């Protein structure tokens, strides 16, 4: 697997089978719980894009 993260909010993950997963990310600068942060992954398709899952 290969993960590419750009300076913005985008990322691209190349999977072993040749498929690619791309999306956006949000890593907060401060958190009340620095050791444990939730990970939410939404795989979209059809008419949804990554911004549908943007929880900000």
How confident is the model over 1-54, as pLDDT tens digits?
565 555 567 778 888 999 888 777 776 666 666 666 666 666 666 677 767 766
**pTM attached to this predicted model:** 0.43
Provide the edge-to-edge strand list for the sheet that holds 2-5. 2-5, 10-14, 20-24
C-alpha distances out from residue 6 to 9, 23, 24, 29, 46, Å: 7, 11, 10, 17, 25
Domain-wise residue ranges, the chain: 1-25+36-56
């Amino acid at each position: 697997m290969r993960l590419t993260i750009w300076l913005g909010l985008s990322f691209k993950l190349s999977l072993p089978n040749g498929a690619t997963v791309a999306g956006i990310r949000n890593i907060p600068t401060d958190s009340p719980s620095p050791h444990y942060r939730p990970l939410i992954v939404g795989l979209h398709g059809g008419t949804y894009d990554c911004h549908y899952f943007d929880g900000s």
